[in-house]
Chains A and B, each alone.
Chain A
């Protein structure tokens, strides 16, 4: 119930192409779904996040698609660039209530390589 399943494990995309990474969850109590980007030897950086009340969120070349009924969400990177080559993690957390500590549950990660 606490798991977030992520696929694929690795992805190779040509420059200018679309990168798509998928995640699925089971716990319907999750209400916050962020995506993180991590470069080697660095900590993760928040890329974009979504809540279940919307089906899509777009920020620049990055789009999250959310399917509440299927309990799935995905990250789309449009016009992928070599600089996008990194590991991407999806995550999920439960609502935060005052005084409570909610935890981010991370997916297993996707290593993206964008070829020039």
Chain B
């Protein structure tokens, strides 16, 4: 099956620093990638949709200047949490849609961000 690699799996940073999370589709091309945020024991909340070569589309209430998304190639999307604060601490998950398929999404293993 299609594999989505997300890195790092866990990051601890000081308040005010920026953190970059990478999402790679290892054995397929993904024109569209999605970024989610998940709080403990809660559902996945879609943050933004990332299309290769174009600007990301952010969901209502998500600060685009806080969460910078870049989708420079068909296999890589990055999420940068800028000037992180403790309230940004969360589990971030990316997913990728296989080119040529309609709905199948493959998820990364997630990144646990802890901001001190």
A contacts, CB < 8 Å to B: 32, 34, 36, 41-46, 49, 89, 93, 95-96, 101-104, 106-109, 111
Please tell me if the beta carbons of A101 and B93 are within 8 angstroms of each other in the complex.
Answer: no
Contact assessment for B107 and A101 in the assembled complex, using a CB-CB cutoff below 8 Å: no
Asked if B43 and A109 sit within 8 Å, CB to CB, the answer is yes
CA–CA, A109 to B42, complex, Å?
7
Q: Are B34 and A103 in contact (CB under 8 A)?
A: yes
Would you call B44 and A44 a contact (CB within 8 A)?
yes
A101 pairs with B43, CB closer than 8 A: no
Residues from chain B with a CB closer than 8 A to the CB of A32 are 102-103
In the complex, which range does the number of interface residues on chain B fall in?
A: 20 to 34
B: which residues have CB within 8 A of A?
4, 6, 32, 34, 41-44, 46, 49, 51, 57, 91, 93, 95, 102-110, 112
The 6 closest A-B pairs by CB, nearest first: A43-B107, A96-B102, A32-B103, A43-B110, A106-B43, A43-B93
User: Would you call the interface of chain B mostly helix, strand, loop, or mixed?
Assistant: strand
Q: Report whether A101 and B51 are in contact in the complex, using a CB–CB cutoff of 8 Å.
A: yes
Contact of A45 with B105 in the complex, beta carbons under 8 Å: no
7 A-B pairs with CB atoms under 8 Å apart are A36-B107, A43-B109, A44-B107, A89-B44, A101-B49, A106-B44, A108-B42
**Nearest chain A CB to B36 CB, angstrom units:** 9
Task: Assess A42 versus B110: contact at CB under 8 Å? Given A89-B44, A103-B49, A106-B43.
Answer: yes
Residues in A neighbouring B4, C-beta threshold 8 A: 43
Which single residue of chain A is at the shortest CB-CB distance from B10? A41
Shortest Cβ gap from A45 to chain B (Å): 7
User: Is the Cβ of B103 less than 8 Å from the Cβ of A107?
Assistant: no
Which residues of A lie under 8 Å from residue B44 when comparing CB positions?
44, 89, 106
User: Is A45 a contact of B34 with CB atoms below 8 Å?
Assistant: no
Tell me which residues across on chain A come within 8 A of B104, comparing CB atoms: 46, 49
Are A103 and B41 in contact (CB-based, < 8 A)? no
Q: How far is the CA of A45 from the CA of B2 in the complex (A)?
A: 11
Within the assembled complex, what's the spacing in Å between the Cα atoms of A108 and B107? 17
Taking a contact as CB atoms under 8 Å apart, the answer to whether B57 and A101 are in contact is yes
* Extra contacts besides A43-B107, A46-B105, A96-B102 (7): CB < 8 Å: A89-B43, A101-B57, A104-B46, A104-B103, A106-B44, A108-B42, A109-B42
